[in-house]
Structure 1
């Protein structure tokens, strides 16, 4: 019987190893020298809690699964029935085609057209590569239609700080704003506001901190990259991203399948929840044009 996540695609570079699946182009595992830097799940299991998902052509949620474009109202499939929202785009449960597979990298693609509530056609691509900077993930989007396409891109990894317990870690974010969300629907109740209560720039200890929050205004460092990190006394991991990933959702569930203790999702996004309605940082891709951007994971000693 095929695995729920499809074919398992393994890549290696010296002591680094990653596994990607063909269903959803999901990042299932990443480790260096036998140490996990990503929460994982079994090859015979469905991806839990959005783990490793690719979020295209929008990340996070569309409120009520309804949005308006060019004066026309569109109703998307409700994929979060408990809240009535359309969640995490159109490709995370799709079979992707492998377009290249080398020892240290793998590329996949999927074509989306004729979808309920989405009047655009596009080709999404993704490449996972292992190298000197760790794991690099490059997203691509090509507009196959005749009209400009609004879009956003995100991903849903659960970075793991090596041997460290997340509760013993400090969380640092490049974000400067917070987007208030309704706790029931998890959609925005207004626009971005300054972060209060936590100093994520200096680092906030995670113990006794519970988050399922969207943060924006991510400021690139001197090298032009946005950087978030989890650091503890026994290890750490950094998630870097191109500046277009100006948003990040942080989710700290106290239970993750197969793991004792909490996990931490650090989800780089180009736009906030419900951007198809608010228009905040929503991108647009002209016909026949291609967009690319990258993020990655780097183990910290």
Structure 2
């Protein structure tokens, strides 16, 4: 397997760096290589980095092979800005692409980001654990509650980039109430994007930790979803769960079925860990698999995307009856770690796979 790693120094890079400065011609060449979708014959992966010679200052990493292209922006929560499938010489978006990538890009404009040390909202901005109350500050303008942790809003460090992909790290040792160190890795394995999240509690207190990813998937008028689950937590007007119920018929996705046209923003429970998204007109499918028991489905009407978020706990898990550990979160003492892996496998699907027709669109 071969790999092409190119780091382009910025004008502010120190002249004392052990890596020699690139000439303007080399810089233009590297940017052109990234822009023209680098790809090697067969399943090999190529990696191109754009930014400073210091790995931690890299602005963008492009991973590409014969099947996929993935762009990662370390300074934007280590998030994905594009995830595309190669089809007959074209790049077909699987995740909704980030249209404008800059230091001011809003995280919700990304194609995907990671959620840690918890996902979604914490009711009241506090929870109880071990007989004490823990306050969690709001972390985003316009949100009245803390949401998705702070990893998605941070600038990550490129710790390693090689033949298999890229590994990013984040040091939040001075964080309150969550003090932690985390890593997220992106790997291309043939037609599959593999995202691995690792987190370590480095604080004094034992706290509930949880992990998840938040992809924005392309949605057209016949997008279908298959993601069997036994129940869900219905969200109220504040998007916090109010009661757990069996999945109603309109949202049962035991087999591939068109997405509802109405708003859904609920956490589904007792998930098998496997889901499939199908785009019949594009003859494309995506299989999502993870080591988690929950997912959050978000279907905003009229948008060109929807979100299928594999997570290891439901919304506001810390404050649900029974506590965080009863709802998928992991209590980590100082020095203990948690890891989750998420796989997104893309496949071209022939017309025969859609024989038999589809049901009517659900409301």
> Structure 2 length normalisation: TM-score?
0.71
Establish whether residue 289 from structure 1 lines up as the match of residue 336 from structure 2.
yes
Give the drift of 1:230.
Answer: 3.4
Establish whether residue 62 from structure 1 lines up as the match of residue 122 from structure 2.
yes
Aligned to 1:166: 220
Establish whether residue 275 from structure 1 lines up as the match of residue 337 from structure 2.
no
**2:228–2:255 CA contact under 8 A, matched in 1:** no
Aligned to 1:223: none
Give the drift of 1:238.
Answer: 2.2
**1:247–1:270 CA contact under 8 A, matched in 2:** yes
Indicate the SS of the match to 1:300.
strand
Superposition map of 1:239-258 within 5 A: 239-243=287-291, 245-254=292-301
Superposition map of 1:10-89 within 5 A: 10-23=62-75, 24-33=77-86, 34-41=91-98, 42-44=100-102, 46-47=105-106, 49=108, 51=110, 52-79=112-139, 82=142, 84-89=144-149
Give the drift of 1:268.
Answer: 0.7
Aligned to 2:261: 208
**1:37–1:237 CA contact under 8 A, matched in 2:** no
C-alpha distance in 2 between matches for 1:15 and 1:39: 17
Which deviates more from structure 2 when the two are superposed, residues 47-56 or residues 271-280?
A: 47-56
Q: Deviations over 1:245-291 (max 9, x none)?
A: 21111112245xxxxx5211111110000012222222122432332
C-alpha distance in 1 between matches for 2:137 and 2:248: 35
C-alpha distance in 1 between matches for 2:278 and 2:216: 11
**1:11–1:104 CA contact under 8 A, matched in 2:** no
In angstroms, what is the RMSD of aligned CA positions? 2.5
**1:166–1:264 CA contact under 8 A, matched in 2:** no
C-alpha distance in 1 between matches for 2:307 and 2:58: 23
Shift of the 239–209 alpha-carbon distance from structure 1 to 2, 3 Å rule, reads farther
**1:159–1:237 CA contact under 8 A, matched in 2:** no
C-alpha distance in 1 between matches for 2:171 and 2:337: 14
Aligned to 1:266: 308
Of 218, 223, 239 in structure 2, the residue corresponding to residue 186 of structure 1 is 239
Structure 1 stretches lacking a partner, 5+ long: 221-225, 256-260
Aligned to 1:177: 231
Higher relative contact order (CA 8 A, sep 6+): 1
**1:171–1:229 CA contact under 8 A, matched in 2:** yes
Q: Which has the higher helix share?
A: 2
Shift of the 250–207 alpha-carbon distance from structure 1 to 2, 3 Å rule, reads closer
**2:256–2:276 CA contact under 8 A, matched in 1:** no
4+ runs of 1 displaced by more than 6 Å?
none
Indicate the SS of the match to 1:168.
coil
C-alpha distance in 2 between matches for 1:142 and 1:276: 19
Give the drift of 1:149.
Answer: 3.0
C-alpha distance in 2 between matches for 1:290 and 1:133: 29
Q: Deviations over 1:66-95 (max 9, x none)?
A: 212222222222235655211111211111
> Which structure would you say has the larger Rg?
2
Number of residue pairs aligned between Structure 1 and Structure 2: 281
Shift of the 136–49 alpha-carbon distance from structure 1 to 2, 3 Å rule, reads same
Structure 2 stretches lacking a partner, 5+ long: 1-9, 13-49, 51-56, 349-363
Which deviates more from structure 2 when the two are superposed, residues 207-216 or residues 134-143?
A: 207-216
C-alpha distance in 2 between matches for 1:181 and 1:6: 39
